[in-house]
Chains A and B, each alone.
Chain A
Amino acid sequence: MSGTTLKTETLAAARSAKTVNPFWYKIRRNPLTLLGLFLLLLILLLSIFAPLISPYEPTKINIPERFASPSADHWFGTDEVGRDIFTRILYGARLSLGVGVAVVVGAGVVGTIIGAISGYFGGRIDQLIMRLMDIILAFPALVLAMAIAATLGPNLQNAMLAIAIIKIPVYVRLARAETLALREKLFVKAAVTFGISPWRIIARHIIPNALSPVIIQVTLDIGDAILLVATLGFLGLGAQPPTPEWGAMISIGWKYLLDYWWYPTFPGLALFLASCGFNLIGDGIRDILDPKANRS
């Protein structure tokens, strides 16, 4: 009977129906994110285990071996005073990663606080803060960073400060937008009626709930921050030699490009891979959170 055939068919279908694992589904659709993860882990591990990997010291001068081309002894060659470039890159990784994360997290924290204050109190404070942010954003990023770093004096800390200043407005806007929405929520209004001070409300209720877009933005910004610090270093406005910062290395190395190509090329490659890794991951995160997925 046709009824029985349908019944068996339905049972069989029910048994074989599989549920799709969400994690692998997403990764399968975006192998680039995986690549980013891999790159970052690689760099992280290399930087952490630098002393174990390389027998050389990053700042030890060794004139007889200056400008050695890449070989088994010196995988990436040596620079103008004989320092092993591979070693310097490994130690430089610690610097670049640390600096990149520090700058962006710093900007994120400060920006979120300012944005929450601006959004919560509104009125004149809000207007003032937003105009200030608009003005900062009116400058092309690198140009303003250069101006600030030049004014404050060329060293790594000032470069970090300059870049953090550049990055702050984005976080202020994000946090402000979230705050404006949160301000209207019931639990915040209730807190106000309980007489809780505005500062406490901002700290305990607003900021913790405003964090998620901020965190996403932080992951997206780290790659860019790393490049900016290195660029300032390249221009002589950031870390100064003999610090093994990638940008600073290139600031000296580039003049030797035609004769000793390895000197600027490998630090630059490291910069590229680090930035790429962060950007791939940031892109993947953004993709995962994107609701529009399926239209043909």
Chain B
Amino acid sequence: MRQIIAKRLAMLVLVLFGVTLITFFLSHVIPGDPARMMVGQRASEETLQEVRRQLGLDQPVWVQYFTYMKGLLAGDFGDSIRTQQPVINDLITFFPATIELALTAFVIAIVIGIPIGILSAVKKDTGYDHAGRFFSIAGISTPVFWSGLVGILLFYKVFNLLPSSGRIDLMVTPPPTITGLFLLDSLLTGNWAAFSNSLWHLILPACILAFAQLATVTRQVRASMLEVLSQDYIRTALANGIHGPVLLFRYALRNALIPTITVVGLSFGSLLGGAVVTETIFGWPGMGKYVVESIAFLDFPAIMGFTFVISFGYVIINLLVDLTYYALDPQIKE
């Protein structure tokens, strides 16, 4: 087991290395003039020359890469052209909002997706199954920006139930920062007003974001359950009188969840991608909205900083998922 962890960690380092290579490649090598990329289209000639010198663009490429890596390890992604702040500071500011959104969406997707997947599997080829599968395919086919807009149209304009943007109303004071997650912080400080208001703002974007991942979860749970239910040991259990919820949950689901976790973990990547769009539509002040605004500005340090941080997180998540998989399967443990 320890050997496996060591191997995976080695892979992790290699992959992260590769990630830095690609981001370096994208930010320094491909664009004709990295200095121009750094300062943006609107800077003056002197600034450009100064930046060129500072960036060491007269140095050979591998030295530049080395400098880049040194900066990365120190958490230095350069300064954002738009905000004039170090990119890393910007990212830290907006990080908690994105986490809160992504995590909530993830939880919703799992809590709703797993039961639907089970139902679909158990009632295979019936009306329930077809409905479940259509729902699942609809989730994958729906562009997040569209579902977000439709959601706002319905719940804000037509039904007037939910707000259309922001994380919390201007009139309500946000809770003191403990974790940066408004829901958690307001609970911890007993601030009911902030809690309910934050929740009210969080629900729609989280559900919209969850919808796509829900599809993946449902599909995978259905496929895994079908696979498991066709196994011999389920037949043995049936023959011995085990049926109903006990059969489904104690016998079938726990084995069906193993491949599900892997797939769900991998789909976290598309969740992060989807967050970018969702935050834009809902004016959610997270990293996604930040990078979209940066794109409009062609703010390369910000774009690359974002890319690196998100990808880094994604790689770590995948590693955790892999390790969980190994932990759950006793055969591999030995």
> Is chain B in direct contact with chain A in the complex (CB below 8 A)?
yes
**Nearest opposing residue in chain B for A250, CB measure:** B145
The answer to whether A227 touches B125 (Cβ under 8 A) is no
Q: Chain A's nearest CB lies how many Å from the CB of B131? A: 10
Complex contacts, A136 vs chain B, CB 8 Å: 22
Binary per-residue interface labels of chain B (140-153) against chain A in the complex, 1 for a CB within 8 Å, 0 otherwise: 11111110011011
The answer to whether A32 touches B133 (Cβ under 8 A) is yes
Partner of A261, one of B157, B164, B269, B276: B157
Partner of A272, one of B146, B153, B164: B146
The answer to whether A235 touches B273 (Cβ under 8 A) is no
The answer to whether A32 touches B134 (Cβ under 8 A) is yes
Interface residue A113 (Cβ < 8 Å from any Cβ of B): no
Complex contacts, B152 vs chain A, CB 8 Å: 257-258
Contact count A vs B, C-beta below 8 Å? 158
Q: Name, among A32, A140, A152, A265, the residue most crowded by chain B CB atoms within 10 Å (CB to CB).
A: A140
Partner of B143, one of A147, A272, A283: A272
Complex contacts, A144 vs chain B, CB 8 Å: 22, 307, 311
Q: Chain A's nearest CB lies how many Å from the CB of B36? A: 12
Interface residue B184 (Cβ < 8 Å from any Cβ of A): no
Of the candidate stretches B62-70, B242-250, B296-304, B326-334, the one touching chain A is B296-304
Complex contacts, A227 vs chain B, CB 8 Å: 141, 143
Whole-angstrom CA separation of A268 from B273 in the bound complex: 18
Interface residue A169 (Cβ < 8 Å from any Cβ of B): no
Complex contacts, A269 vs chain B, CB 8 Å: 146
Q: Chain B's nearest CB lies how many Å from the CB of A27? A: 12
Of the candidate stretches B90-98, B198-206, B225-233, B254-262, the one touching chain A is B225-233
Interface residue B104 (Cβ < 8 Å from any Cβ of A): no
Q: Chain A's nearest CB lies how many Å from the CB of B27? A: 7
The answer to whether A146 touches B295 (Cβ under 8 A) is yes
Interface residue B138 (Cβ < 8 Å from any Cβ of A): yes
Within 8 A of B (CB), among A229-283: 230-231, 234-237, 247, 250, 254, 257-258, 261, 264-265, 268-269, 271-272, 275-276, 278-280, 283
Whole-angstrom CA separation of A258 from B307 in the bound complex: 32
Q: Chain A's nearest CB lies how many Å from the CB of B259? A: 15
**Nearest opposing residue in chain B for A257, CB measure:** B149
Q: Name, among A30, A250, A257, the residue most crowded by chain B CB atoms within 10 Å (CB to CB).
A: A257
Complex contacts, A29 vs chain B, CB 8 Å: 125
Given contacts A139-B19, A140-B311, A143-B310, contact A264 B149 (CB under 8 A): yes
Chain B count of residues within 8 A CB distance of the other chain: 62
Interface residue B176 (Cβ < 8 Å from any Cβ of A): no
Whole-angstrom CA separation of A258 from B157 in the bound complex: 7
Binary per-residue interface labels of chain B (26-44) against chain A in the complex, 1 for a CB within 8 Å, 0 otherwise: 1100110000000000000
Whole-angstrom CA separation of A234 from B279 in the bound complex: 13
The answer to whether B143 touches A148 (Cβ under 8 A) is no
The answer to whether B281 touches A254 (Cβ under 8 A) is yes
The answer to whether A140 touches B141 (Cβ under 8 A) is no
Q: Chain A's nearest CB lies how many Å from the CB of B220? A: 13
Whole-angstrom CA separation of A31 from B93 in the bound complex: 49
Interface residue B15 (Cβ < 8 Å from any Cβ of A): yes
Size category, A interface: 35 or more
Q: Chain A's nearest CB lies how many Å from the CB of B143? A: 5
Whole-angstrom CA separation of A144 from B273 in the bound complex: 9
Interface residue A212 (Cβ < 8 Å from any Cβ of B): no
Complex contacts, B292 vs chain A, CB 8 Å: 235
The answer to whether A268 touches B146 (Cβ under 8 A) is yes
Given contacts A134-B15, A138-B15, A139-B22, contact A147 B303 (CB under 8 A): yes
The answer to whether A257 touches B153 (Cβ under 8 A) is yes
| 5 A-B pairs closest in CB distance | A142-B273, A268-B146, A135-B18, A140-B269, A275-B141
Name B residues whose Cβ lies closer than 8 Å to a Cβ of A.
Answer: 11, 14-16, 18-19, 21-23, 26-27, 30-31, 125, 130, 133-134, 137-138, 140-146, 149-150, 152-153, 156-157, 164, 226-227, 229-230, 268-270, 272-274, 276-277, 280-281, 291-292, 295-296, 298, 300, 303-304, 306-307, 310-311, 314-315, 318
- 20 A-B contacts (beta carbon < 8 Å): A132-B18, A138-B19, A139-B307, A142-B270, A142-B274, A142-B276, A144-B22, A144-B307, A144-B311, A234-B145, A237-B295, A254-B281, A257-B149, A258-B152, A258-B156, A261-B153, A275-B140, A275-B141, A292-B227, A295-B229
Question: Besides the contacts A135-B18, A140-B314, A295-B230, what 15 more A-B pairs have beta carbons closer than 8 Å?
Answer: A131-B18, A139-B314, A140-B269, A140-B311, A141-B269, A141-B270, A144-B311, A146-B276, A147-B303, A148-B26, A151-B27, A235-B276, A247-B143, A257-B152, A272-B146
